[in-house]
Structure 1
Amino acid sequence: MRPVEPLSSWFRLIGQQGLDPKTMKAYAYTVIMLLNYLTARGLDLRQATENDVLEFRRWRREDAEETVEETTWDRDAAAIGGLYTYLDQIGYVTGRPWRATGRGASLGSGTSQDSRVRHMELDQYLFLRDVGFGGLQPGGGLDLGFRGWRPHRNRAALELALMTGMRIQEWSTLLLPELGLTDSKRAPFAVVDLAACAKYGRPRSVYAPSAAMELLSAYLLLERPGIVATAQRTLRRQVRELFVVQRIERDGTQVRGVLEGATITRVIKDMKPDLRRITVWETGGGLDPLALFVGTGGRMLTGSGWDRIRWRAWKRMKRWSEHGAAPVLPRRCWVFHDTRHTFALRLLIFLTREALRDVSAEQMPMATLLDHMVGNPLLVVQRRLGHAHPSTTYRYIQYLKDPMRDVEAAFRSWSAAGGASYATVARQLMLRESADAAQG
């Protein structure tokens, strides 16, 4: 664990820039692999040439024990590029060892990745929410053999993720005041201002509709009090490590309390996840975590905790599917980000239909420029998702219609005629083409 320069200083720098911990970990593995690769060749970072770096890329893509795809290599290239930029700035090297190309000075593949947008149909989502996360039977009845934990919390979290389109770091780190849930008077909906927990800290507002709030109410009434009561002894024992809030101010947007012996005030939307996880409220009757979704010990559930819940739900759904009691399941386990894709696609379809209906009702060949600017479905979805560029949202367009269903519809009459299969149709077309060629 000794400091290894100049890597330690570089990591300190990018850590101060607020890089995501998961990205930091990936960058660490990359630069360590590069360093080991160069050391095995009797070289170091100063002595590496363009050929050495390109050979490392080839090894990583083709010869390593665990080779990687282009997307992973592009992340590795970003790490190596960032490292050498820093080394050049501090004078450790005289420049990057590779030459700039048509793609610039990057080692990346230059290939634009069109990520698969995996979304759910209604029956798939309800099966995930109620059977996988909620422990019900496919028909809606109680499953007396269910051994899951906190089904109300888990269903409410999934519903909130779907209905808001938030990323897991956004919805899993929410605090009660952000949704107006700190007293008995609860609004039927909520508007949450995201900042520090949003991707890249990019601010945006999120609307939580009544459907999501209803499931949250059931969780807050039936499960959360028991979790908090059980955690009191643990919380009291750890109180010196916690941010103990004494007052919630400015209509639930600011908190004031004691952290490490000092009294501080924080704007909630600017609180980072690490601070949120240790934030509790001194109610007079005990310590109540301000986290919306609470796990064992009264602490906010982490990403790995939600992953365990997700995998348990997947295994449960797979068991039901073996008995033919499940909708079509994907080959790979659903991930929480699939709810974000589902939100985006359903909202885009709805807004597009509404825009077409408005144009038709007004009997106009096209909407006015103002209507187009204000109500453009893509721009609305972009704002709701917090995408920096419209091109990111644009990829959802290709999923507005299911091409597989179009193929089925196009050939339905063919396959229905005499039970003809695709193979039969193809054979008939080939015979017809041969006959036409012979006549020609």
Structure 2
Amino acid sequence: MAPEGIRVELAFVQSGLLGRYLDSEVVSAEEVAALLKRRGLLDGMPVFLDDETMMPLPALSEWGRYLSTGLLDETTLRDYGRMAARLDGHLAGLGSDVLSATESDLVAYRNWRRLWQKKPVAARTWGKEASILDDLYRFLVARGSLPAQPVRLAARGRNALAPGVRSNMDIRHLTFEQYRYFRDVGLGGQLPDEQVNRGYRGWAPLRNRAGSDLALGTGARWREWATVLLPEMGLWPGMQGGSAEFEVQACAKYGKARTLYVPEDAAASADLFCILERPDIVRAAARTLERKARDLFVVAEVDVAGGVVRGTLDGVDREFRMSAMPAKLRRITVYEGEFGLETLTLFVCRGGLMPGADAWKGYRHRAWEWMTALADSTTPHLPARRWRWHDLRHTHALQLLTYLENLMDGEEPDQKARSRRHHSYLTGHIRHNPLLIVSRRLGHADPSTTYEYLQYTDDLVNEFEAAFRGWVGDDDATYAEIAAHALAGAAVSTTGGR
């Protein structure tokens, strides 16, 4: 670590900038990019620099390389690097640094994050950060940079950095009325009485509505549904359309592969956006994309049957399996469309490429502002906190689990009987186990995560004859087809199918 008082600068590996900024007669950008790839240094890997000399600090930078070897995605690598840099910045104010920090220094940092900073973080957020800092100190001890971790273990294996309380999952779900108000009024620019809101100042309401329908209809995480490609959705020449089914892996949490099923009404919502809104967006952005062509992956062939795209990236002919394409690659993937180059992803923003996390956050925040401004005694109850995109995943899981329960055993008013049924799932046959069916569909690494939803199935927040009747689309279609598809998939798995 740097001597006391010297601050640390945080940088990140970003190979895409080499061709633009590296100007050297000694080594070319291509050679440096090849070296980064050979050494396994991923984009987003944090590099910690001495503020005065701008040279890498060995201990912390080696930790960044250690993170890179774990094949973490770029966003995660950046987040972890910022956590360590934030700790170092706070310790510098105490006249300390990461290598010389005492237990009291780290406790003071925990208290600052949890209690005293302008916007204290929640226990769950701090719990994640504390685990990363624990990992940092374990690495420093294993490397020999420290003789022992500065934080002692207390009772039950917990240390002073651990959150003060243990919390369950923050499961927040919407009722039918709340979802339609969120989708149609907040995102879609309607008034509560279903009339057009002439004062609406949002943009691309059909895109945003399609996003919410896709999130709810699939139960997918944001990175999974917001990065979907047109061929994956069946919105490609020669494909029949209707419901879609495709594999996610690179964009899935922990890279855990699973199949996503898009019900017909969610696909129809996306198709409507493609027909009415998307052409105008891609037409306006085509010239911009043409200027950026050298930095894009220009697809020349889409092999729908093989799930493969072929094209040119960095002047080299490349082939990628769609399920193995990470979000960063999807964002720069384009093809020659009717108006010139256009993104291969379903969703597109003004710049002509896939909207990022900040863009979707902005859509959601503006939707909340419209909803709260128009709320009155006739509109659904709005919670104190803004809804998140992830709440649609929770809603999908809860409604599907409740529907599968009722499908298996019928409506059961006896709460004790329902409780016994919950526990019996773990020993029941996998084909008839709603808990495991929903767990597989959501891509949970451990069914115990899905088990936390069971406490909500008795709340009766929104009774339906079918799990999602009328939620997605504008007809009276039912999301019972999701359950039927899930059950059919379970039946295949028990007979050795894949």
TM-score, normalising length from structure 1?
0.83
Alpha-carbon contact 2:426-2:433 (below 8 Å) kept: no
The one-letter code of the counterpart of 1:347 is L
- Name which one, 1 or 2, has greater alpha-carbon Rg: 1
Residue 372 of structure 1 aligns with an amino acid whose one-letter code is H
Superposed, 1:171-250 pairs within 5 Å as 171-183=225-237, 185-249=239-303
Cα deviations across residues 262-321 of structure 1 (Å, max 9, x unaligned)? 001001101111100000113486212101101112100111111111111111111211
Deviation string, structure 1 residues 197-226 (Cα, Å, up to 9, x no partner): 011111111110011011111111111111
Q: Secondary structure at the match of 1:73?
A: helix
* Structure 2: runs of 5 or more not aligned: 1-8, 10-53, 413-419, 463-498
Counterparts of 1:73 and 1:3 in 2: how far apart (Å)? 30
Moved more, 293-302 or 37-46: 37-46
Partner SS state of residue 351, structure 2: helix
After TM superposition, give the deviation of residue 121 of structure 1 in Å: 0.9
**1:337 alignment partner AA:** H
Select 1:378's aligned residue among 411, 429, 435: 435
The 2-side partners of 1:123 and 1:13 are apart by 48
Identity of aligned residues (%): 41
Say how many residue pairs are matched. Answer: 400
User: How many Å separate the matches in 2 of 1:87 and 1:162?
Assistant: 43
Cα contact 2:401–2:435 (8 A) shared by 1 = yes
- Residues 128/64 of structure 1: CA separation in 2 closer, same or farther (3 Å cut): closer
Task: Describe the SS at the equivalent of 1:124.
Answer: helix
Q: Deviations over 1:391-420 (max 9, x none)?
A: 111111111122899xxxxxxxxxxxxxxx
C-alpha distance in 1 between matches for 2:461 and 2:216: 24
Q: Please give the alpha-carbon distance, in whole angstroms, between the structure 2 residues aligned to 1:219 and 1:319.
A: 26
Q: Aligned pair in 2 of structure 1 residues 4, 68: CA closer, same or farther (>3 Å)?
A: farther
Distance 1:47 1:146, change over 3 A: closer
1:424 is matched with none
**Which amino acid in 2 is paired with 1:379?**
L
Aligned to 1:99: 152
Q: Which is richer in helix?
A: 1
Residue 169 (structure 2) aligned to one of 112, 115, 118? 115
Quote the residue 2:220 is aligned against: 166
1:324 aligns with 377
- Alignment partner, residue 147 of structure 1: 201
Query: Are residues 1:393 and 2:450 paired?
Result: yes
Q: Which moved more, 1:249-258 or 1:299-308?
A: 249-258
Map 1:32-431 onto structure 2 (within 5 A). 32-64=85-117, 66-104=119-157, 107-109=161-163, 111-183=165-237, 185-249=239-303, 251=305, 253-283=307-337, 286-321=340-375, 323-357=376-410, 372-402=429-459
Question: Comparing 37-46 with 303-312, which one deviates more in the overlay?
Answer: 37-46
Residues in 1 aligned to 2:353 and 2:442: alpha-carbon distance in whole angstroms: 28
Higher relative contact order (CA 8 A, sep 6+): 1
Output the CA distance in 1 between the equivalents of 2:64 and 2:426. Answer: 49
User: What amino acid sits opposite 2:392 in the alignment?
Assistant: T
Counterpart of 1:12 in structure 2: which amino acid? R
User: CA–CA distance in 2 between the matches of 1:232 and 1:36?
Assistant: 43
CA spacing shift, 1:11–1:3, aligned 2, 3 Å? farther
Structure 1: which 5+ residue stretches go unaligned? 360-364, 406-440
Counterpart for residue 470 of structure 2? none
1:42: how far off? Answer: 4.2
What is the TM-score with the length of structure 2 in the denominator? 0.74
Once the two structures are TM-superposed, the CA of residue 327 in structure 1 deviates from its matched residue by: 1.0
